[in-house]
Chain A
Amino acid sequence: MTSTPLIELRSASFGYADRKVVDGVTLSQGPGEVIALLGPNGSGKSTLVKGLLGLSDHLGGDVKLFGTALAKFRDKPRIGYVPQRHSLSTSVRVTVREIVETGRLPLRPWWRPSGAADAAVVDKALDAVGLRDREREDVAALSGGQQRRVLIARALAAQPDVLVMDEPTAGVDVANQRILADVLARLAERGTSMLIVTHELAALSDVVTRIVCMNAGHVDFDGSPTAYAAGHRRHELGDGHHHSPSADEREPGLAAIVTDALPSREVRRG
């Protein structure tokens, strides 16, 4: 290893109060990697990323962010969080730019007003998601996919070292998913590291460099997209599956497998 991993988990557990949702996960993300974190609902993907952000409880194992233990990690803006949000509609009128500007707040003390440098970074973040021309519009007027891009721009405004996204394509129609995927592809080209929780690998298949699959709180696959595709064929041939057996558990991997087996990106613009 030439450089410190951005994120390093060693048999880490996360959950809420005393209930472990993620148990014994070992995972490390290096600079420039774009990891898709897959798994059925309730497998612990969201709990895991929330654990990194301090939004769920760290219940055991080692967690290091940029080489610093999670409990001592203070430089939180280095992780750019894009929450899962179906709608940005608020009780008041808020412009696209106003939302993105909040991304700069954690980087300056409370008494300092925003300056020209802040404005320049916000401009760049808006450019990166292709919404600069709509910066003065009410966010409530944008489509779901555009709102998701606003949240990505807000995260980028903090100039993070890694983007952590929770279901960026969920509930977004195909046309908008394609635009989102293009935005993410451009970020990846620039060397942005990303950890993307998703159900829809197909939409992001061009961007992802590595796939981690979770099931029932454990990681049950970690490898390249090619290996993942090969692994799927084994699954389909009925190779022994291995999750913790429990009576009421449905075949949880199935939904994900069916989605992922779809051909990637049917239409390319051209």
Chain B
Amino acid sequence: MGDLLSLDFMRQALIAAVLVGLAAPLVGAFLVQRRMSLIGDGIGHVALAGVAVGILTGSMPVLTALVAAVAAAVGVELIRAAGRTSGDIALAVMFYGGIALGVVLMSKSTASSGNLTGYLFGAILTTTSSDIVVFAGLAVVVVGVTWVLRHRFFAVANDEEYARAVGLPVMAYNIALSVLTAVTVVVSMRVVGLLLITALMIVPNATAQLVSRSFRSSLVWASLIGVLSAVGGVVGSFYAETPSGGTIVLLAIATFLVVSVVSGLVTRARRAAHERAERHDHEHGPQCGHQAIPHDGHIDYLHDGHRHAAHKDHYDEHDEHPHERPHDDHAQPEEVSR
């Protein structure tokens, strides 16, 4: 790792990886919450048209891509807000129009086809340092704004009708999130590429959902997994001589698969070890009259001499020292049958 850091371009690439790995899952969390996981992909398509315009006119492709992506992002929200059934088709026209225009325009420029691949799938090691500075600045803004507004994005995504009823500017927050998505797509296009960036927005969140118990902790997990995948992918692609974007995404997906298998096993082990209390309509609570016993981060209620703890839609039996009990199916069968 030491010799890697002595390489100038590698240092740049790693900084970019950390920032993208942080920003993409953070913004993506709210897209997952709004069930708009694939919107980043569409915006990426339109950004390609912007890149092509930039290359053709000799201006900075980053800036033209940014303009195109932000315009597409605002368009997405306006189409959604109109709430027409044809909105879906309007989005398709916009997204595929964007990528088709990009490919056609690119073919008219003198740039090689390798250039196109670089934007579509990421080519961090060939990115100029002036671009990296712009990307870094934008990424810091995305992370900062998303973090400050996270509760509001959460509230609007969680219940749009309620947010409107209490006077939150719902449309403004939706457009803000969409624009943040667009900026993230452009910032990430040299690291993971326009066609792969959505994976880095969504997959770490899917993994985080498996290990976290609250939205707050899932944000932290997703960012952590995103950063590790991005840095790991950049380092891996250097040694394996593979494209950075694909390597990062494969790493993120591998993490997801491993975590889902492990969490599946843990869930099964827990299910085998926990025992349900008898059914009762009565709900335990502060007013129920049963003695409340704080126990390991939750509250047990003393019910006819044994302890009930709320678990999903039923109650579990918790005895005096439940956590010392071996966690397998054959533990204390006489209690299970009770």
List the A residue with the shortest CB-CB distance to B214.
Answer: A95
Give the distance in Å from the alpha carbon of A111 to the alpha carbon of B166 in the complex.
Answer: 18
> What residues of B have a CB within 8 angstroms of the CB of A86 in the complex?
none
> A93, A103, A130: which contacts B209 (Cβ < 8 A)?
A93
Task: List CB contacts (< 8 Å) of A114-171 with chain B.
Answer: 114, 127, 130-134, 136-138, 141-143, 146, 154, 158
Chain B interface extent, by class: 35 or more
Contact (Cβ within 8 A) B35 A179:
no
Mark B292-310 against chain A: 1 for CB-CB distance below 8 A, else 0: 1000011100000000001
Query: A224 on the interface (CB 8 Å rule)?
Result: no
Stretch from B41-49, B61-69, B277-285 contacting the other chain: B277-285
Contact (Cβ within 8 A) A90 B165:
no
> What residues of A have a CB within 8 angstroms of the CB of B215 in the complex?
92-95, 98
Contact (Cβ within 8 A) A106 B313:
no
Query: B94 on the interface (CB 8 Å rule)?
Result: no
- Main SS at interface, chain B: mixed
Contact (Cβ within 8 A) B164 A91:
no
Contact (Cβ within 8 A) A94 B214:
yes
Mark B19-36 against chain A: 1 for CB-CB distance below 8 A, else 0: 000000000010011110
Mark B177-218 against chain A: 1 for CB-CB distance below 8 A, else 0: 000000000000000000000000000010001001111101
> What residues of A have a CB within 8 angstroms of the CB of B90 in the complex?
none
| CB-CB under 8 A for A81 and B166, given A91-B35, A101-B151, A105-B152 | yes
Contact (Cβ within 8 A) A102 B312:
no
Interface size counted on chain A using CB atoms at 8 A: 45
Query: B272 on the interface (CB 8 Å rule)?
Result: no
Query: B85 on the interface (CB 8 Å rule)?
Result: no
| CB-CB under 8 A for A90 and B286, given A110-B152, A134-B310 | no
> What residues of A have a CB within 8 angstroms of the CB of B154 in the complex?
98, 102
Query: B287 on the interface (CB 8 Å rule)?
Result: yes
Contact (Cβ within 8 A) A94 B158:
yes
Query: A20 on the interface (CB 8 Å rule)?
Result: no
Binding site for A on B (CB under 8 A): 29, 32-35, 148-149, 151-152, 154-155, 158-159, 161-168, 205, 209, 212-216, 218, 281-287, 292, 297-299, 310-313
If A83-B159, A95-B213, A130-B285 are given as contacts, then 11 extra A-B residue pairs at C-beta distance below 8 Å, sorted by A number, are A54-B164, A54-B165, A76-B167, A91-B33, A93-B215, A95-B214, A98-B214, A98-B216, A101-B151, A133-B310, A141-B313
17 residue pairs from A and B, CB less than 8 Å apart? A53-B164, A55-B165, A76-B165, A77-B166, A91-B33, A92-B205, A93-B209, A95-B213, A95-B215, A105-B152, A105-B155, A105-B168, A130-B287, A133-B284, A133-B292, A133-B299, A136-B298
